Structure 1
Amino acid sequence: MSYRPRIDTTPTPLIARSGQPQFGLFTDSVTDLGLANLQLRTEMDGLASRLRQRFGYKQFQFVCVQGPEFVLAIAIADVRFVNSGFAYLYRPGMDTLELSLLHPLALRCQMSESPVAGAARIGGNKQFWQLTLSADGWQVQLQSQRLQVDVQLQKQQQPPLALCAPTAYSGFTYTEKNNALGVAGRIEIDGHALDLSQARGGYDFSAGYMRRETSWRWASINAHLPGQGAFGLNLAAGVNETGLSENALWYQGTRQHLSPAQFSFDRQQGGNWQIRTLCGELDLTFTPAFCRQERLNLLLLASNFRQYVGHFSGEVRLHDGQQLVLDQVQGLTEDHYAKW
């Protein structure tokens, strides 16, 4: 079975002068969200208050850089009441370095309102991470006592997964992801530089008026397959509820949209995950090796977050009929509940 969704020309801006977002899967990055045009409505069709417009808007940005012997993950989130960030460096057989920041309101945090311009930053002078966005790629910088990062994720004309979907009664979510991008620069841990010769990276830009309570399952790969080249994967379930699929793979620089994904796993017992798509493009088993987790219950806000590093094995079918066999390919999964 072949899955070939309609891809629309990218709108500029995303929110039209009529005040309404333009929904769909797009050919390329949205350069201007057009938030000033938005006419946000309540569930009773009245204009939303300034307070709701301010505190209803959520945004997060995430970057992952993967090499054969490491995974670096960096996140910044602004949910208005608080802003937060985490970073970790995972290396098999070694202690994982984990960093986290949490600030009230907008203190020590800024976000970019476009996936191709501006910068997102969290932290102070001694410890911070910053994502600087451009049409050519994302620059990733991190400064801490033990870990220093300055790398560039290079798009090299590879198209992203870009979509805008309705959320709840009157909201919207724009998300953009791009995986298996080239990596250049330097990552140092305790004065030791990591080998980036086979590293690949990916990013996630998500923003909008999301559900007050939401949850999702997610999977991601940024890899260089021996003898085959760059392979990237993004799968999500639970966050988009309107028929638009946030699923795609990238192989040798070409994007392929994928049908809806099903995640099967046991939260209480742990163990392997089974991940399949509706039209049979892939059938994968994920075996976790490390979990970065956090549980917060702050009355107004709550989060139950688990992000796993592990390995994928299974089969992937491309549009041209070619079969790719994944054998212990490193990647991530995530299981997240949020009230924000």
Structure 2
Amino acid sequence: MQLIDEKGQPRFGVMDQPVEQVNFMDFDLRSVMDKPRSKLARRWRFNQFQFISAAGPDWLLGLAVVDLKIVSSAFIYVFDFRTGVMREASWLRPLAAGTGIEPLPETGGCHFRNGATAISITGQGDSRQVDVAAKDGLSLSLRLTEDRDPLRVCSPAGYNGWVYTRKSAGLAVDGHLRWDDLDLSIDAAMRGSIDWSCGFMRRETAWNWACLAGVTADGCSLGLNLASGVNETGVTENALWLDGVCIKLDMARFEFDRYNPSADWRVTTSDGRVALRFKPEGVRQERRNAWVLASNFRQFAGTFSGTVTGGDGQVVRVDGLRGLMEDHFARW
């Protein structure tokens, strides 16, 4: 299935079938005064990004590639819960040089190159392969598998835009990370998440986001994706995964103190299925204001506690599982 239909409009809603191609050049993009936009405008306005994470009892990994056409960026970080040390690296490329993300959510490739740095993410059916090589002895080989029941959502964005996102959490992972003196195995105690997103996004967007991926005390693989402020026009991107099965959730509410970053967060859903607290322990942040583009970004690594409720009413205790919270303003 292609995302844009024969009339040049996106197929909105939650999708049960895979979107094989986001044929964004077929979108009937118009100005706010209904004037048709050019092919160049369609290509220039279309944004894409991918985010990958893997988390376990001792440490958490985050990695992203972002293509905004005017500029592209990538980052990788590792947070060690045992020592409290955050190790990170990031790169920028003007005019998205050396960057490519195929508009194929299920099987497409993504690459980012900057000098000695090379990042690739490749979709392979129900798995993703991630490879990173950079200076300081940084190398990563990560495979995320059992991605059989993702959440696929397309929602309106602003007056004339839209966003498509494909998300999974609680995935099995394996691989290895080396970074200078750091040597870490990615094993069965860890779980991963994938965020593949694209679209004609609102010029200014702000959101909160939560991502949890881990194994409960009784051996259940648990994944969670929650967002507020984005992708919630008629639908939401909120979902819970228990042993790989996706359970759709309703609206999410985030309670936190933006100006006290060490304070706990609370996140709930309006259907009562999620009641969690989050203790932040490390943060990756950036503030960039370049007039046309701007970002005020804080992504916290920390620990969740509380409960989630499955589709059959089963209450699952969350105790000490690792994950992420994000507070983000973007102008793009």
TM score, norm. by length of structure 2: 0.95
1:196 Cα offset (Å): 1.4
**What secondary structure, in the 3-state scheme, does the structure 1 residue paired with 2:31 have?**
coil
Gaps of 5+ in 1: 1-11
Structure 1 distance, partners of 2:189, 2:115, is: 31
Match of 2:158 among 165, 168, 172: 168
Show the counterpart of 2:101: 111
SS of 2:64 mapped into structure 1: strand
Check conservation: 2:91, 2:114, Cα contact below 8 A: no
Which SS does the other structure have where 2:4 is aligned?
A: coil
Residue pairs, 1:14-25, within 5 angstroms? 14-25=3-14
Q: How far apart, in 1, do the equivalents of 2:108 and 2:236 lie?
A: 27
Give the equivalent residue in structure 2 for 1:131.
Answer: 121
Cα deviation, residue 51, structure 1:
4.1
Preserved CA contact (<8 Å) 2:13 2:234: no
Residues 308 and 333 of structure 1 are in contact (CA less than 8 Å); yes or no, is this contact kept in structure 2? yes
Q: Secondary structure at the match of 1:21?
A: coil
- Partner AA of 1:242 in structure 2: T
Counterpart of 1:32 (choices 21, 26, 31) is 21
Query: Paired residue for 2:272?
Result: 280
Segment of structure 1 superposing worse, 174-183 or 26-35: 26-35
Q: Give the 3-state SS of the residue equivalent to 1:194 in structure 2.
A: strand
Alignment correspondent of 2:197: 206
Deviation at 1:339, TM superposition (A): 0.4
The one-letter amino acid of 1:143's match is A
Q: Following superposition of structure 1 onto structure 2, how do residues 27-106 of structure 1 map, counting pairs within 5 Å?
A: 27-92=16-81, 93-106=83-96
Distance 1:193 1:279, change over 3 A: closer
Q: Is the 8 A contact 1:215 1:338 kept in 2?
A: yes
**Distance in 2 (alpha carbons) for counterparts of 1:174 and 1:247:** 14
Matched-pair contact (CA < 8 Å) for 2:302–2:322? yes
| TM-aligned CA deviation for residue 255 of structure 1 | 0.8
Give unpaired runs (5+ residues) of structure 2.
none
**Distance change in 2, residues 1:324/1:191 (3 Å):** closer
The TM-score normalised by the length of structure 1 is: 0.93
Identity percentage of aligned residues: 38
The one-letter code sitting in structure 1 at the alignment partner of 2:12 is F
- Give the 5 Å matches for 1:171-250: 171-189=161-179, 190=181, 192-250=183-241
- Corresponding residue for 1:254? 245
Q: Given the alignment, which residue of 278, 292, 306 partners 2:284? A: 292
Worse-superposed segment, 162-171 or 302-311? 162-171
Structure 2 contact 93–114 (Cα < 8 Å) conserved? no
Instruction: Output one character per residue of 1:188-218: Cα deviation in whole Å (capped at 9) or x when no partner.
Output: 2336242513121110000000000001100
The aligned counterpart of 2:308 is: 316
1:303 paired to 2:298: no
> For the residues of structure 2 that align with 1:254 and 1:50, how far apart are their CA atoms?
39
Preserved CA contact (<8 Å) 1:88 1:99? yes
SS in 1 for 2:201: coil
Structure 2 CA distance, aligned partners of 1:67 and 1:228? 13
**Cα distance in 2, alignment partners of residues 125 and 169 from structure 1:** 39
1:265–1:213 Cα change, 3 Å: same
Please state how far the C-alpha of 1:251 moved relative to its aligned partner. 0.3
8 A Cα contact 1:303 1:339, kept in partner? yes
